[in-house]
Structure 1
Amino acid sequence: MTQPHRSTARSQAPKPLPHVITAKTMRIAWLRGEVRPLSPQIDNCVQYLGYWWINDDTEWIRVTAQNAIDLLNAQKIRSASIYRNLHAKRGEEPA
């Protein structure tokens, strides 16, 4: 009877997500298409890795306050609706 294969490498828990990341890290993620701004006009608040981040010109700070997260989520929905309506009035497809 054969024994199930056991990995000799220790499984490691993923590193926790930092509260602050550098502008360079965010710029790279943005170029890779991993970042979604709050709206086309508001790009200092973005979603990245499933979280909201705010830019202070030198680094990006992860939003952790639930009230702020709720407000950003609501604003994202409102902004998307506004841009859809603007494009519809112009007869354009939204980007």
Structure 2
Amino acid sequence: MIIASLLAPGCLSDQLSISSECTQVLQKILDIQDERGTRVDAVNEVYRLYEAKEVSREGMLKQSEIWKAHEAALRAEVSLLYEAAREKGCL
């Protein structure tokens, strides 16, 4: 009986719609987390170059500020996506 109700056209359509929405939201989360990882690796390289005296203090600070601004924006965006994913039952 439960299986029959799950296979009802409307229910299946709803499940596919939710699954599609979840896939999209979760992919966006993964993309943003990937970008965050790439950006932190890049700023860590700047710090390494600064310690090796290959980048000036000003250059390092500028890159650090740019990273902080991007990180704050990405963190805020991904937090909203996590919230949306929870509300949709994706997580």
TM range (shorter): 0.3 to 0.5
Structure with greater Cα Rg: 2
Q: TM-score, normalised by structure 1?
A: 0.37
Q: More strand by proportion, 1 or 2?
A: 1
